[in-house]
Amino acid sequence: MSEVIVVTSGKGGVGKTTTSANVGTGLARMGKKVCLIDTDIGLRNLDVVMGLENRIVYNLVDVVEGNCRVKQALIRDKRNPTLYLMPSAQTRDKTAVTPEQMIKMVNHLKEQFDYIILDCPAGIEQGFKNAIAGADRALVVTTPEVSAIRDADRIIGLLEACEFKKIDLVINRLRYDLVKRGDMMSSADVVDILAIPLIGIVPDDENIVISTNQGEPLVGNGTPAGIAFQNICQRVSGKEVPFMDFEKGISFWTRVTGIFHRDRV
Amino acid sequence: MRLFFRRKSSKEIAKDRLKILLISDRVNCSPEMMDMIKADIAKVISKYMKIDAKSMEIQISKTGTKGGRNNKTPTLYANIPIIDLNQ
């Protein structure tokens, strides 16, 4: 049974594309057939993060307009034989595609893949509507900041209105030193506010920058973020993986004061 | 001693701000409108009994925590202290 997962956040720059690339790659390395779709028409980025930018011939808009067959637009990742990327168009805008066309294309791809991962553009306009149209499951990415959490809350509301089967939360760029100091919301705080199931916590890690520079997702390579993304992939595929110690990152001190001030919040 | 005398950490400020912000975001209702609702409720109740309008609180929350956020209906809670029932 194939699953169609949209990776979304509302706010830009919180790590949708990084999450899409790493979760897609991780699932493919687990032996699943995965198709990554970049739905950000006009601002395509998933191809560079994946290091596949030099191999694009056709794109998503070509497919929906019938200029090519779906298969021709799919780029196979040579490092992971079961991973494919459907790139977005760079020279068009969001209005080039309709939600109906997306559903049609996704349904076609469902026949060949275990997982279809849609990288959603920022915002809640047409591009967002296109991306969520064909999906039945969502990963909402947020960082522990007020602006990102507010936007995530809005997105969750919109997804719930569209009757999504499953909406899970990815907390990205968590800094444990700040959490310990009381200057960043902990994962528990964020979950408390957004009230959806947590599927992963990705620590703030400079290796993300390095891996993006190189165009090679870092999932499963032993770095803190790599391990975190590996765990997310396992949980996406239904395995129960305990949250690692560094993922919790709540010191004894924070716990004590947390209890102390619980009645206030 | 820091436990008892410390200032609010920035994380707590963020969390408090978000909680208030999201209440109005989720019900699409501004804090000004909440104040107006509060004033009107106080006015109506005052016709029948003496209430403490200053310490009265109203809040819209999505309760009914069963199974996530889906089956929560927004509910208006009013906490109105009564000073004298037989006015």
Residue that the structure tokens 């804090």 belong to: B31
This prediction has a pTM of 0.81
pLDDT reported for residue B1: 47
- Cα gap A208→A204, rounded to integer Å: 8
Among B7, B8, B11, most A C-beta atoms within 10 A, so best to mutate, is B11
Are the beta carbons of A193 and B68 separated by less than 8 Å?
A: no
Determine the Cα angle at A162 with ends A158 and A198, to 5°: 65
Q: Six-digit token pair at A146?
A: 């007020």
Torsion angles phi and psi, residue B19, rounded to 5: -60, -45
Cβ contact A170:A156 at 8 Å: no
Answer yes or no: is the ipTM higher than 0.90: no
H-assigned helices in chain A: 16-29, 46-50, 60-64, 70-73, 99-110, 126-133, 146-161, 176-181, 187-194, 206-214, 224-236, 245-248, 252-260
Determine the Cα angle at A17 with ends A178 and A176, to 5°: 10
Strand A34-38, strand A137-142: pairing? unpaired
- Residue by residue, pLDDT tens for chain A (265 residues) are 799 999 999 999 999 999 999 999 999 999 999 999 999 999 999 999 999 999 999 999 999 999 999 999 999 999 999 999 999 999 988 889 999 999 999 999 999 999 999 999 999 999 999 999 999 999 999 999 999 999 999 999 999 989 898 999 999 999 999 999 999 999 999 999 999 999 999 999 999 999 999 999 999 999 999 999 999 999 999 999 998 765 444 444 444 444 444 333 3
Domains, in order of start, for chain A: 3-264 (3.40.50.300)
Q: Which residues of B touch A257 (CB under 8 A)?
A: 3, 6, 9
- Kindly report the nearest CA distance between residue A6 and chain B, in angstroms: 19
The residue type of B61 is: S
H-assigned helices in chain B: 2-5, 10-27, 31-46
